[in-house]
Amino acid sequence: MYIVGNWKMNTLPAESVDLAGSIIELTDGLAANILIAPPLTSTAAVLECCKNTEVKVGAQNVHWEDSGAYTGEVSARMLQQLGVQFVIVGHSERRQFFGETLQSAADRAHAAIKSNLQAIFCIGETEAERNQGKTNQILNDQLEPLANCLSSINSKNFMLAYEPVWAIGTGKSASIDDIHQAHDFIKTWFKDRKAFVPSVLYGGSVKPENFGEISALDNVDGALIGGASLKAESFSEIAKIGSGAS
Ligand code: PGA
């Protein structure tokens, strides 16, 4: 199981170090893979703190070019030199607020894959799309631009996160049936293309109270956690559940 914390635009460097320190302590020895994505300004400090531990540190965005006139962006090479091991790509907040398109999200994932950074590629439908019965179509539209890099993906450089937009930060997680069906659709999409079938994480209001049932699904390989990852206690509780230790 992969338990991934997306800290979004939260925590100053000193707070990040405190949070990472508590996470290291509380998740020590657990079977689950623990990954945290602090804001970029805290990355160096958190990397230092996670040195010689099992906790992996990632970023929340990556550009598709190695360098150039792209004010405000960061390249895969820059992240790699920093020591980052994974990067969240195509999060719905990037798609919703920062003009991320179907193609640019896939280009960012491709750049990460080429640099051996593990891309965690996020997809998911809005509430209106679900209500109109368009969930599979939307997931397909978001996956399709990956078609030209499918032959380069493997377990080390790629994971998927299914995150229904209406479940993010709302306290309202998707139903167990909806999660199972969406994960099945995603895994089948890769199988049908004879591609490597990636781990699929669920994201959207994951908390200790609901992760037992979610993690029991045979096609859920972990969680991408926002709000509950900002408290070491709730994050480590989820990690314990994901390790079968709670
Ligand atoms: P949430 O966020 O856990 O606060 O719903 C999940 C995410 O945005 O990855």
pLDDT tens per residue across span 98-118: 999 999 999 999 999 999 999
Question: For a pLDDT cut of 90, what percent of the chain falls above it?
Answer: 97
Q: Report how far apart, in Å, the C-alpha atoms of 65 and of each of 44, 80, 107, 112 are.
A: 22, 14, 9, 10
Helix (H) or strand (E) holding 222: strand 222-225
Which residue, judged by its Cα, is nearest atom 2 of ligand 1?
A: 226
How many Å lie between the centroid of ligand 1 and the Cα of residue 87?
15
pLDDT tens per residue across span 20-64: 999 999 999 999 999 999 999 999 999 999 999 999 999 999 999
pLDDT above 60 (res 1): yes
Which residue, judged by its Cα, is nearest atom 6 of ligand 1?
A: 226
Q: For residue 72, is it left (φ>0), alpha (ψ between -120 and 50) or beta?
A: left
pLDDT above 80 (res 96): yes
Which residue, judged by its Cα, is nearest atom 3 of ligand 1?
A: 226
Task: Tell me if 6 CB under 6 Å of ligand 1.
Answer: yes
How many Å lie between the centroid of ligand 1 and the Cα of residue 81?
28
Task: Tell me if 227 CB under 6 Å of ligand 1.
Answer: yes
pLDDT above 70 (res 200): yes
Quote the tokens at residue 162: 């299914």
pLDDT above 60 (res 246): no
The residues pairing with 202 across neighbouring beta strands, listed in sequence order, are 162, 223
Distance CA 230, CA 219 (A): 26
Q: What is the mean pLDDT of residues 115-129?
A: 96
Which of 216, 223, 234, 231 minimizes the C-alpha distance to 33?
Answer: 223
Question: For a pLDDT cut of 70, what percent of the chain falls above it?
Answer: 99
0.85 cut: is pTM over it? Answer: yes
Average pLDDT value over all residues in the chain: 96
pLDDT tens per residue across span 135-181: 999 999 999 999 989 999 999 999 999 999 999 999 888 899 999 99
Distance CA 122, CA 58 (A): 15
Distance CA 86, CA 80 (A): 9
Q: What is the DSSP string of 177-197?
A: HHHHHHHHHHHHHHHHTT---
Residues annotated as catalytic (active site), given as ranges: 91, 163
Q: What is the DSSP string of 116-161?
A: TPEEEEEE---HHHHHTT-HHHHHHHHHGGGGGGGGG--TTTEEEE
Atom of ligand 1 at shortest range from CA of 170:
5
| Amino acid letter, residue 53 | T
Task: Tell me if 168 CB under 6 Å of ligand 1.
Answer: yes
Distance CA 36, CA 58 (A): 6
Which residue, judged by its Cα, is nearest atom 7 of ligand 1?
A: 226
The residues pairing with 88 across neighbouring beta strands, listed in sequence order, are 120
How many Å lie between the centroid of ligand 1 and the Cα of residue 69?
31
pLDDT (0 to 100) of residue 172: 87
SS3 243: coil
The residues pairing with 16 across neighbouring beta strands, listed in sequence order, are none
